[in-house]
Amino acid sequence: MSENIDGQEAHHAAAACCGVSACCTAGEQALEPGTTVAQAKASSGCGCVEADSSQAARPSGVLPVVVIGAGPVGLAAAAHLTERGQNFLVVEAGEQVAASVARWGHVRVFSPWKYNIDAAARRLLQADGWIAPDPEWLPTGVELIDGYLAPLAKLLGERVRLGAKVNAISRLGYDRVRTNGRQDVPFLIRLDNGEELQARAVIDASGTYETPNVLGASGLPAHGEPQAVAGGLVDHALPDVLGADLDRYEGKHVLVVGAGHSAATTLLALAQLPEATRITWAIRAGGATRTYGGGAADALPARGALGTRLRAHVDSGRITLLTGFFTHTVQPGGEQVTVISRDSSGHEQAIVVDRVVAATGYRPDHTIAGELRLDLDPILGSTRALAPLIDPNAHSCGTVPAHGVDELAHPEPGYYAVGVKSYGRAPTFLMATGYEQVRSVVAALAGDWQAARDVQLDLPETGVCSSNLAEAQQVRVGLATGISGGLLATPLPLVTADAGSGCCG
C-alpha cells in the first residue's frame, strides 16, 4: 500500500490494529496528512500486532468487526476478514445460514456458479478440501446454500451466530448528536433478546428481503392493501407456485403486479399450470419492452431467455398484460379481491382476481442504524456517492461501475451497508458486485488502502439487465426473480431472478 495516508486511512489503520474506530489515544483529528500506517499504529499506544492472512495471527482482546447477515455477501465479508486475520462475528437473524435465500430456495438463479462464489470464500473452502460445483451450472437457492454457503459457514464455525437479530446500532455512550470523542468509542449493537455486543466496525449485509415494496403505485400502501395482505389474498414475490404453494394458485385467477425479474419468474411458473389457471400481469409502464430485456444479446443466456419466453406467453394470450396500471385500491371481498388502478388523469381500471402476487421490489430499512450518522441519498437511500453510479434511470445491473469503500462510507467511520442494502431502492443487484464491495471494505479495515481502492468489477452485460430467459439448462426452467442481491431464479426448467435478499445472480 502507499506509505503516506490521509486522515481517514490513518483512522482506519488504528482501528484495524486496536479494535475501536480511533483506538486508544489516536483520534482521527490528531493524525495529520502524510502520517504513515506505522506511525498511526505507534501513536495509538495500543501495542498491536500486524494482521496477516493467518487466523492464528489475530490479536487477542481486539474488538470484532460485526457482520450483520449470513447470506452470500455477509459470509463473503467473513471470508475476507478471515484471510486478513481480523477478529469478527457474523450475526444472522434467521435460524439457518442464508435464511432469506432459503425463502426462495425453489428458484434457480440466472447466473452460473462461476459468478456466485466469492474469491476469498473459494480459497478458504478449497483449502479445506471442498470441491467446487460445475462453474457453468445455474444453482437454485437451495443448491446455493447446500453447495456453498452452508459449508462456508461450517468452516467459519462459532464465529457465525444464528438466531441473533439486531435491533439497533449506536456508539457506546453516544447518541447521534454527541460529537466529541465519538470516534474513540466502539459500536454498540443491541440484539432482539436484549444482549449487547461491542464492535470496532460494522458491516451491514442484512439485505432487503424482509422489507418489500407496497402494491400502491405511489409508494404508499394501496387503500385496503394491509387488510388484503392480512387476509391472505396478497403474496409477496416468488411464491413456490409449482411446489409448496401449488394449491393456492392452480385453477385460480392470479394477478402479478411488477415488471422485474421476480414478476417474470412467477409469471413463467404460473404459465406451466393447467389452462384453468388464468394469469394477468399488470405494469405501470406503457409496454413491457424493459422486462423482456436483451434477449439473445444478454451475456447471461438464462437471464436473456426469461424475457423471450415471457413475451411468447403474452403474444399467445396465455398471459394477459395490463399496461398503464397504477394500483390505487385493493378491495377484499370474500375469497376474491378487486384491484383498482387510477392514473394521473383519474382514469380507472378494475380487475377481480383470486390472488395477487406483489412483485414490486424491495427497499432498505435503516431503522437499526437510526443513532448512527448516515448520509443517504434522498432518492435511492444509498450513500450519496454511490447513488449516481446505480441510478436505475441510467444504469442496469450490468453497467454499474466498480465501487468500494470510498463510495460506501458514511460520516460514521467504520459503518458500511453492503450488498443489496447498499443499493437502497435501486433494483437488480448482482452477487459479484457485493463480493467486490466487501473485499474493498475489509481491505480498508485491515489498513490496506491500496487494495481497498483498487476496485475491479467484471459484470455480464445486458441491454437492461431486466429479464429474458433462453434455454440455458433444460433440467429445470428457471425464471428471473427481482430479489435484491442479483439472483435470478425460479422453480422452473430454466433460470433467472432479481431478488431482495441481499444477493442476486
Exposure class string for 87-117: b at 16+ Cβ within 10 A, else e: bbbbbbbbeebbbbbbbbbbbbbbbbbebbb
Return the DSSP state at 235: E
Once rounded to an integer, what is the mean pLDDT over residues 218-230? 96
- pLDDT top residue among 99 and 499: 99
- pLDDT top residue among 449 and 3: 449
Mean pLDDT, the chain, integer: 82
- Contact by Cβ (8 Å): 452, 438: no
Three-class DSSP category at 452: helix
CB atoms closer than 10 angstroms to residue 21: 27
With vertex at residue 69, the alpha carbon angle to CA 150 and CA 88, rounded to the nearest 5 degrees, is 85
With vertex at residue 286, the alpha carbon angle to CA 462 and CA 326, rounded to the nearest 5 degrees, is 110
- pLDDT top residue among 298 and 106: 106
Model confidence at 502: pLDDT above 60: no
301-316 vs 261-270: helix crossing angle, rounded to 10: 60
d(CA 410, CA 199): 17
Longest dimension (CA), the chain: 74
d(CA 90, CA 202): 10
- Per-residue confidence band for 429, with pLDDT thresholds at 50, 70 and 90: confident
Model confidence at 477: pLDDT above 70: no
- Per-residue confidence band for 29, with pLDDT thresholds at 50, 70 and 90: very low
Q: Which of 329, 320, 359, 324 is nearest to 343 (CA)?
A: 324
Once rounded to an integer, what is the mean pLDDT over residues 197-216? 96
Specify the pLDDT at position 401. Answer: 84
Model confidence at 480: pLDDT above 70: no
Q: Where are the beta strands (DSSP E) in 196-307?
A: 196-199, 201-204, 234-236, 253-257, 278-282
What domains are there in the chain, each with its CATH number?
A: 7-50 (no CATH), 65-209+363-453 (3.50.50.60), 225-361+465-497 (3.50.50.60)
Of all residues in the chain, the percent with pLDDT exceeding 70 is 75
d(CA 8, CA 10): 5
- pLDDT top residue among 63 and 56: 63
d(CA 36, CA 23): 16
All three cell numbers of 145:
446454500
Specify the pLDDT at position 458. Answer: 77
Q: Dump pLDDT digits (tens) for 257-307.
A: 999 888 999 999 999 999 999 999 999 999 988 788 765 556 566 666 778
AA identity, residue 447: G
Model confidence at 236: pLDDT above 60: yes
Model confidence at 44: pLDDT above 90: no
Once rounded to an integer, what is the mean pLDDT over residues 150-175? 98
Specify the pLDDT at position 111. Answer: 85
pTM, to two decimals = 0.81
Q: Which of 378, 371, 258 is nearest to 322 (CA)?
A: 258
All three cell numbers of 336:
376474491
Specify the pLDDT at position 400. Answer: 78
Specify the pLDDT at position 57. Answer: 40
d(CA 253, CA 478): 22
Query: Radius of gyration over alpha carbons of the chain, in Å?
Result: 23
Return the DSSP state at 259: S
d(CA 430, CA 399): 11
Once rounded to an integer, what is the mean pLDDT over residues 235-240? 94
d(CA 197, CA 190): 6
All three cell numbers of 238:
416468488
Once rounded to an integer, what is the mean pLDDT over residues 143-162? 98
Query: Element (H or E) spanning 269, and its range?
Result: helix 261-270
Q: Dump pLDDT digits (tens) for 315-350.
A: 999 999 999 999 999 999 989 999 999 999 999 999
- Contact by Cβ (8 Å): 434, 73: yes
**Residues shown for the chain:** 505
